[in-house]
Amino acid sequence: MLSKGGCPKNALSIRDALEALEGRWKLLILFSLSTGNKRFKQISKEVPGITDKTLSKELKNLEGNKLITRNVYDTFPPTVEYSITAHGKSLEKVMDELHYWGLAHRKKIMGK
């Protein structure tokens, strides 16, 4: 698309995507949930560097964008787990391309 030149319609869709995925955490949280349902503390461990406050905010935002669901189980005390939705899983190709590009970028910039 870049080689074919930009058009305003595409820029709008890319803007929508960037807004839903803004920041450095959301895709990493989804990536963590892609291996299975997890509790807050488990996600926190798998996304190094994130604070509890930020993780809490990001989880709410992801839920609002229908990318994850928050499941409350009727145990005592109640158990809360997060799971990725089908819509969240539909980011697979975006993640794949980011992965390939990230590898190439690391080579280019860091020479590793």
Contacts with a copy of itself by CB under 8 A lie at 1-3, 5-6, 10-20, 22-24, 27-28, 30-32, 34-35, 65-66, 84, 87, 89-106, 108-109
Nearer to a copy of itself, 74 or 98 (CB): 98
Q: How far from chain centre, in Å, is Cα 95?
A: 9
For residue 67, what is the DSSP state?
S
- Whether 44 and 50 have beta carbons less than 8 Å apart is answered as yes
Nearer to a copy of itself, 71 or 90 (CB): 90
The alpha carbon dihedral of 95, 80, 86, 57 has a sign of negative
Q: Name the minimum Å distance from CB 16 to a copy of itself.
A: 4
